[in-house]
Chains A and B, each alone.
Chain A
Amino acid sequence: MSDLFAARTQMALSLGFHIVFAEIGIAMPLLMVLAEWRWQRTGDETYLRLAKRWARGSAILFAVGAVSGTVLSFELGLLWPRFMSFAGPIVGMPFSLEGFAFFTEAIFLGVYLYGRDRISPRAHLLSGVIVAVSGAASAVFVVTVNAWMNTPSGLQMNNGRLVGVDPIAGMLNHSTAQQVIHMLIAAYAATGLAVAGIHAALLLRRPDSVFHRRALMLALAVGAPAAILQPISGDFSARTVAQWQPVKLAALEGQFDTRVGAPVRIGGIPDEDARTTRYAIEIPHGLSLLAFHDWDAVVHGLDDFARDVWPPVAPVHIAFQVMVGLGTTMALVSLCVGVLVVRRKNLSQYRWLLVALAIVTPFGFIATEAGWTVTEVGRQPWVVQGILRTRDAVTPMPGLIVPMLLFALLYLLLSAIVIALIRAMVRETI
């Protein structure tokens, strides 16, 4: 394994591990606040028990998210020092704002988790709201950095040297709006439906439990609307990528030749050497319609670009299919929920729906991992699109396979422990 590949693997593992906890850290406070607010409004003690249950599970996930996020902030330098010495003056701005948002989140998380008996109910609820808002703000700023890597702006180059920076323009790059919206909705959809799925599974065993019924409805109130909105945000993302990152679009669609009225592909395996995508179901004109909202729009295929700026096509295409497939399933299940809720039905009486929700539990997190594979692998060979190649950013230290294996082991261990602890907590509630 080359040092470059070891570094990329370590970064991918760290981001892939952290992002699950980050999503939970964004959405879980909202769920806890909603439960607590319902309790204060209705006086129904079930909601208070629910808020406390959720808080206990979340405390573990928040802490693991905080420490794994710390690892990432150091890894930016440990693995990519030349990226940071180049980009630090620009991406430092959103990272600093993220730091303050995270600080606010950590302070009020302490107040929220431990302060219930020392402050007024109103102050307690407010501290939960601050945690929810600052968690979302952290995500906005971090994703802004990634958006800049995809479509960099706010920098003047002269013969490959950086001569001027504008950090604010860097933050307001072409991808910021679409990536931020897509990520935030993903966090609420993935977490909301995962929590709903767990309580749906528990309702299958104990259909009469008021506790799980209340939990299911609150989790769906967050997760279902987000899952229904996500395809719309996905359309916005696809159009932005089509406009500003045509190579990435071609790779994620497995589109090799340039075409008027390009088809959209469902499934399929791209073959880079044969320059074709096999076994896909093609819907004529679909891609032109989706990416440009024009039946006959020209879509540039990979053949229009030099081979050395192609990302690895097959993983990007397959990851994209996984994300869209899972996201669509989540949206459809959520639509069913929506229809039943509008008709004022009691959801817990529909076993097929509870089964569907239980199956969908992990889909949002898998879709998130797939989505990040699309955006990160799809940007290769660049770390900063069109400006800095990943291979030129990696640390000169040899032997990078060792830290990669060390962190792989650490994440494996932590994942196993977290899963075991959460399982034990869920069992307690049966």
Chain B
Amino acid sequence: MSDFISSIGLPEVIAGIMVLALNAYVLMGGADYGGGVWDLFASGPRREAQRELIASSIAPVWEANHVWLIVVVVMLFTAFPTVFATLSVVLHVPLTILLVGIVLRGSAFVFRSYGTYDRPSRQRWGRAFAMASVVAPVLLGIIIGALASGTVGDASARVGTSPSFSDVFIRPWLTPFSITVGVFALSLFAFIAAVYLTIEARDEPLREDFRGRALGAAVAVFVTAGIALALALTSAPRVAHGIVGALWSIPLHVVTAIAAIIAFVALIRRRYGLARVAAILQVSCILWGWAFSQYPYLVPDRLTIRGAAAPRITLELLLIGLIAGAIILIPSLRYLFRTFAGRAAERQATAHE
């Protein structure tokens, strides 16, 4: 443990803040994608009420939530430019699909909310929004799975030398393990969204709808995590080692498991506030578990945090910028969420005036 602490310097601090920003993106932007998933699976007698609740919960916040992803990207190319370049080359195809998903999700959502009042075209935009909301999380998961398993790093060494396109640009990310991580990410985003929506909902039947969905998604998270772990043991040894081998991994997994159980039990007992706190802790621990499993690599096993770091002056200025930015952004974000917290139902009335 003391080795770990003494290894922390400015590059590691910057990398840590980057994971923190990604964590924020997963908790906020991820939930917006999850909302789209539940729009796609809206069913039963309250199908339209479910969609209205999702739309009015997402509407004021999704653009701000989305900026966390841009923060991660900008930090990556500023502080670790060769990592950004390597990922962009090897993961060109999935990143492009992810972008198409991001563009369609955002555009279709505003086209539906603002564009038109006639029913058929609203339904069409709704479907485009919901489907794009499923695509993006799966691709994000695939990218992280491929990165963690080390195939991206291996492929980057073959750029320009391998004659096969798929050997460098397709096979590194299209593996059973990374696809499982993709489905896992989708389940996780759907889970966190359903948990938030139990609090956003104003009437009891609607809340019950999302309680059921949250419990279902929790099971999906558990099952896909199990499959991912099994696949990791057989085909992604670097992940398996990172998950079970490292010093910090056991306490982190214990906390994750406890948080998952608390969230599940709290949902069963309809303790929604507690469920939300536990779910946030669970999702965050999973993300940090991945980050620590790679440490000190950003691209296993090719680029380390230290080796890929930009010149010190750049990192120092970036850190100053991040602190100054946080001083402005944190109160602003608090204001945004307080203005709209738990008022989705009231907002429905005013959204389309």
Docked-complex contact A89 and B67, CB < 8 angstroms: no
Docked-complex contact B64 and A168, CB < 8 angstroms: no
Docked-complex contact B74 and A396, CB < 8 angstroms: no
Contacts of B328 in A (CB 8 A): 100, 104
| Complex: A108 Cα to B116 Cα, angstroms | 24
| Tally of B interface residues using CB under 8 Å | 67
Docked-complex contact B77 and A395, CB < 8 angstroms: no
Contacts of B335 in A (CB 8 A): 107, 111
| Complex: A205 Cα to B322 Cα, angstroms | 52
Q: Is B261 an interface residue (CB 8 A)?
A: no
Contacts of B69 in A (CB 8 A): 70
Query: CB within 8 A of B85: which of A64, A71, A81, A424?
Result: A81
In chain A, what residue has the closest Cβ to B96?
A403
A380 CB to nearest chain B CB (Å): 22
**In the complex, how many residue pairs between chain A and chain B have their CB atoms under 8 Å apart?**
208
Q: Is B19 an interface residue (CB 8 A)?
A: no
Interface residues of B in 172-221 (CB under 8 A from A): none
Q: Flag A41-66 by CB within 8 Å of B: 1 or 0 each.
A: 00000000000000010011011101
| Complex: A117 Cα to B71 Cα, angstroms | 31
Query: CB within 8 A of A92: which of B92, B318, B340?
Result: B318
Contacts of A68 in B (CB 8 A): 103
B28 CB to nearest chain A CB (Å): 11
Docked-complex contact B74 and A84, CB < 8 angstroms: no
Query: CB within 8 A of A81: which of B88, B317, B339?
Result: B88
Question: Contact residues of A with B, CB < 8 Å?
Answer: 56, 59-60, 62-64, 66-71, 73-74, 76-78, 81-82, 84-90, 92-93, 95-100, 102-104, 106-111, 113-119, 164-168, 395-399, 403, 406, 410, 414, 417, 421, 424
Q: Flag B324-341 by CB within 8 Å of A: 1 or 0 each.
A: 110011001101100110
In chain A, what residue has the closest Cβ to B67?
A103
Pick from B84, B87, B88, B336 the residue with the most CB of A within 10 Å.
Answer: B88
Given the interface pairs A67-B106, A77-B84, A114-B347, the reply to whether A406 lies near B100 with Cβ below 8 Å is yes
Q: Is B231 an interface residue (CB 8 A)?
A: no
Docked-complex contact B60 and A62, CB < 8 angstroms: no
- Per CB-CB distance, the 5 closest pairs between chain A and chain B, nearest first, are A92-B78, A77-B88, A88-B81, A81-B85, A89-B310
Interface with A: B107-115, B252-260, B264-272, which one?
B107-115
Contacts of B61 in A (CB 8 A): 110
Interface residues of B in 295-353 (CB under 8 A from A): 310-311, 313-314, 317-318, 321-322, 324-325, 328-329, 332-333, 335-336, 339-340, 343, 347, 350-351
Docked-complex contact B115 and A60, CB < 8 angstroms: yes
Contacts of B115 in A (CB 8 A): 60, 417, 421, 424
